Each structure stands twice: as structure tokens, then as C-alpha cells.
Chain A
Amino acid sequence: MKEFEYVITDPVGIHARPAGNLVKEIKNYADSKISITKGEKTVDGLRLMAVMGLGAKQGDTVKFTVEGGDEDAVVEALSAWLKENL
């Protein structure tokens, strides 16, 4: 299991469209189970409504947990995607 934290820089946070793009991205890593934590709440990264329900805004820190598959590669690819898009 690998974890990393990310601070949201997108001015509107993870609302509908960015959340959709994030879930789409996470779908690419089918071998790993990826969950997202904000504060006390942890959700499955494949579940759009739950991800939106985190209500993560600009400046919020969210934690990504990757289990299974090539964890290192997933962490690297996912962080790069986040920096680019969120």
C-alpha cells in the first residue's frame, strides 16, 4: 500500500467536471484499488458521487491511497496527472 498527499490548486476544487475527469483517470489503473481521503472521510476513487461528496476545494489537502498493482508506477502517474489537472 502506498499513500501520498496532494493539495488542490484548481480554483473551483473537485466539483462535477474535474471530479468526472479524476474518476476517469483513476479508471485507467484497473489493477489498483485507489481511495481518496479528506479529513475523516475516505471514499472509493471510482465512485463519482462519493468523490464529489468530499467537497474538496482549492487549498484542501487530500490523501490518495493506492493498493495493489504496480503501486509505485501508479503513484507517479497519478501525481503527475493531478499536478497537470487539479
Chain B
Amino acid sequence: MITIQGKGVSTGVAEGPLYFYKRAETTLRRYTVEDTESEWNRFKEAQQKCIDQLGELAEKAREEAGDEAAELFETHQMMAEDLDYEEAIQALILEEANNAEAAVTDTAEQFAEMFASMDDSYMQARAADVRDVSGRLLNILFGVVQGGIDSDVPVILAADDLAPSETIQLDKKKILAFVTEGGSGSSHTAILARTLGIPAIVGLGDQIKPEYEGRSAMVDGSTGQVYIDPDDATVDYLRDKRKQQLEYKQMLEELKGKENVTLDGQHIRVFCNIGSPEDVQAVLLNDADGVGLFRSEFLYLNCDDYPTEDYQFEAYKKALSDMEGREVIIRTLDIGADKQIGYFDMPEEENPALGNRALRICLNRPEIFRTQLRALYRASAYGRLGIMFPMVTSVWEVREAKKMCEQVKAELREEGIPYDENVQVGIMIETPAAAVISDRLAKEVDFFSCGTNDLTQYTLACDRQNNDLGRFFNPHHPAVLRLLKTVTDNAHKNGVWVGICGELGADLDLTETFLSIGIDELSVSPGSVLPLRKKIRETDVSKVRDELMDDLMGDGSIF
């Protein structure tokens, strides 16, 4: 048995023969053609075949991944028949008597270079599209059969890495797992594997050797291990693991559509934390009740300059309409501390975590805040929006922020732009100050959302990015949990609901504590929704509440 270690980017266990992806062997030959007319016809035939293939791929992509994926191939189709591209090839064949392969190769390079030299990173990346289309044309000219899997039985597919056009035309039914030399967690192969729900291991480098072709193998996506000719013990162990994983997955599947309710009838909402509008698909797929934390930083991080109101509006609108009427709570700009953006031009600070960050920047630079608030309120007409301010310490900050909301609403009314009058406004509770005066803050807002990562860091005076402080950074610390209880009690006295949007929300060891405290909502990553639902449905709060609360509020004999 040979064991090799890579990086697991999609979990699961698979067993089958290892098979290498067969890529076309294409060595370019250059020669002068005598009959240029028939060489030109040979190109035109290949071009037509290429366009047909791309058309089929577009249809396939439409079925598997929707219109947007299909449009990419349609654009490739148009590139293949683009007049500039075709005329450049024509000139090389008819006037220079180049062979078609050489003409396509040179023209592709010329166009790819044009894109690569543009000053826009998106356009630079289009060089890859030109090369992809030209590669397809060349394969046809070379007479290569489009890459597929020759095997009759499903295989563990090995490759250096796969291009998007290669992954889409794979016969998915024949793939048990991917193992690749290169690639990363965000490569096309990894994304495809996660979509298909099959294991993938990347970054194996030269450990994956051609002589393994056809040999029996097993892969474990959760550990990143690949076994060639696995021994009996490994086979038994991994088969058992696969069985357990399948059972667990099936059990979670069955939880979809069920309520987040405890055995004794206490309801709690389970929402998701997301970082871009694309993540909404994962939220819906995992059957969450809403989005409890939509980090708006991606808009600022993806731009070279302050994102415009329209740009932000479109992104918020997309998330809201895609969520189909479920609540979406968007957190206003939260940069500073560990998240810095060049064009904000912030002076360096001694203590960034205690410095100019989040709401403080927004209140100090109202023009940035106003743009975001306008975009948010405009988007509120397209779904159920909640707005949340991060890093609050005082009542006046909340009042000032709310005043700006009122100004923005007045502007929109005057301009006749629709917005939702019922947008909920809330704050993050992530500083001890906010927790201690939560009785007063509760009179200002509709909801609280506890950011437990920062709340722990500030309460314990413990830098969460300093690995040496591991055992001092304890989010289960009674000081943190008591603050959560104080916040919840104060909120409920004032008719305000409370959520947790830090990583602690998904900590199943604390679910019973949160339910006992009376937290109304837990916002977690999409993958944690169903495991959390399972835990909630197995809990009987009436049986554990008294003991847990005595432990938390008592004299400490148990801590």
C-alpha cells in the first residue's frame, strides 16, 4: 500500500481504479502549405465543428449550472467566429501559406497578448478565454477526440489540474473523486467536486505517479489522503467511515424543511453568516431561515476605489431578492483592526483593534456611510432587510447613525425612490461596554446581534490572532456567557430580539446554554445549519436550564 498526502478540499470517501485524465498530445508543427485554399477550408470545417461543440457545451452547462454558465460558452462560440480573429487566421493561411495549426496558434497568442496588456485585471483574465477557444480549435485540427473518460466503470480521476472547459465536459457519472497535482480549494476542480458532493484532494504534486494508472485506490477527502492498493485494514476502515458519512448526510437531508424547535417546544431561528451575494445559494440549499450577518466588506475589498451607490445597491438587491422574502441582515462597513483597505488611507495605529474601525470610521467619515445607507435603503424595496451597525460602545453613536438613516430615508422620499419603511435597525454587541449598557441601547434598536469573536477578545483582553494566547482565549469563559445573559435579559425586557453571529453560535457544546439563556437567533455558516438544527431538536431545555444557569451565575465551584 502506498499512502500519499495532499490537501482535502471536498470531503467524502471513494474507492475505485485510479485513472489519469487523457489530455491531447499536441506538438505544434509548422510548415508551408501548397494548396492554401484547401488548408483554409480545413480551418473553416474545424471552426464549424468547434462552434457546434461549444453550442452543445452551452446546452449542457445550462442544464447543469444555469443560464450564466451557458452564456460563457456562447461567448466562446462568438470568439471562435469573431471576424477579427478569423481574418487574422485567413491572412496567415492564404497570404503567408501557413498551416492552419500554426495560424491558429499565432493568432491566439496575438489576441491573448492584447487582453493581457490591458490595465484591467478582469480583461487580462480574458486572455485565458482566447487560449481556451483556440486550444479547442487546435484539438479538432489535430484530430484529437475530446477528453473524456475511456473507462467503462467509474474511476478516481487524476490530473494535473482541470480547466473549466474540461470539467464541464467530463462524464460526471463516471467520476468517484478527483486527485490533482496542482490546484487549490478554490480551483475549478474543487468547486465542481463540492457541487457534485464527491471527494477531491489537490496539491499532490509529483507524488501522484503515472505508473498508478489502473491500480485500485481509495481517497479520504477529510484527511487529504490517497491510498494506492490499500490493505484490508484500510479498506475496512474507510468503507466504515464512508457508511457513517452517508448516514450522517442522509440524516441531515431529512432535517430540511423541519422546524428549529426543542423537544419542549422552544423555538429558535437559525440564520447564516455570508460574505457575498453568491453565498445565498448555500443558505437556501441548507434551508436556513434567513441571513443573520451579511458582511458588506467584500464590496470594498473587491474595488480599487470606494464602491459607488449603484454598485452596492445591485449587490444588496441581488442578495435580498435571491433570499425570496426571508430576512437578510446586512452589517454596515466593518473595516479597521485586522481588515485594512488601501484606498481608505488610514494612518497606522498602535492598537488597531482599539482604534478607528467599523462604525467609528463611518461616523467620522459620513460621506462613506451615507453612500452605503442609501444603497441599503434603496435595496430594501426588494426583500426583507435588516441593517446592523458594528462596534458600538455608546448610546450617542447609535443615535447619530440612526439620524443618518432618517436623513437618507427623507432624501429617498423626496426623490420618489421606493424603500421599505419597516427595515429593522440593530447593533452588534461586541464590546463589554455595549453589553453592560444593553438596557439603554435596547431602547434605541430593534435587535442585538452578539459578535462573540470580538466580545471574547475585548472582554478577556486577549488578542484572538495571537496563537500563543490559545488557552487564555476562551469563548466559553463565564464572563463572556454572563454578558450574553445580561444582554438577552435587557433585550427581552425592552421587546428587542437577540442573536449570536460569532463562531460560538455553531458551537454545539453551548447550544443548550444559549437556549437556556433565551437567545432568539443563531447565525452560523451555511454548513452548520443542519447539524445545529439536529442538536436543537434533541434538546429538552426544561431539563437542563436550571442546572446550566446555576452553573453560570453561581459561585464558580464548577469552573
Contact = CB atoms under 8 A, between A and B. Distances in A.
B314 A11 contact: yes
B311 A53 contact: no
Interface string B517-541: 0000000000000000000000000
Contact of A53 (B71, B72, B114): B114
A82 interface: no
A16 B308 CA distance: 22
B82 A20 contact: no
A20 B82 CA distance: 10
A58 B310 CA distance: 10
B322 interface: no
A11 B311 contact: yes
B120 interface: yes
Interface string B311-326: 1001000000000000
Contacts of A55: 118-120, 123
Given A17-B71, A44-B83, A47-B84, A52 B78 contact: no
**Most B CB within 10 A of own CB, among A9, A11, A12:** A11
Given A17-B71, A53-B114, A53-B115, A48 B120 contact: no
B159 interface: no
Contacts of A23: 78
B123 A47 contact: no
B75 interface: yes
B83 A15 contact: no
A47 B72 contact: no
B111 interface: yes
A64 B502 CA distance: 51
B71 A48 contact: no
Contact of A16 (B84, B120, B126): B126
B85 interface: yes
A65 B547 CA distance: 78
Contacts of A49: 79, 82, 84-85, 111, 114, 130
Interface residues of B, number: 26
B420 interface: no
Contact of A48 (B79, B308, B311): B79
A17 B311 contact: no
Interface string A58-77: 11000000000000000000
Contact of A52 (B123, B311, B314): B123
A19 interface: yes
B297 interface: no
B170 to A, nearest CB: 23
B122 to A, nearest CB: 5
Interface string B78-108: 1100111100000000000000000000000
Contacts of B75: 16-17, 19-20, 48
B110 to A, nearest CB: 10
A2 interface: no
Contacts of A46: 83
B59 interface: no
A55 B72 CA distance: 18
Contacts of B129: 16
Contact of B82 (A11, A21, A24, A47): A47
A48 B82 contact: yes
Contacts of B115: 52-53
Contacts of B229: none
Given A55-B123, A58-B311, 6 more contacts: A11-B310, A16-B126, A20-B74, A47-B82, A48-B78, A55-B120
Ranked 7 nearest A-B pairs via Cβ = A20-B75, A48-B82, A11-B311, A48-B78, A49-B82, A16-B75, A47-B84
19 contacts: A11-B314, A13-B120, A15-B123, A16-B126, A20-B71, A20-B75, A24-B78, A44-B83, A46-B83, A47-B83, A47-B84, A48-B79, A48-B82, A49-B82, A49-B111, A49-B114, A55-B120, A57-B120, A58-B308
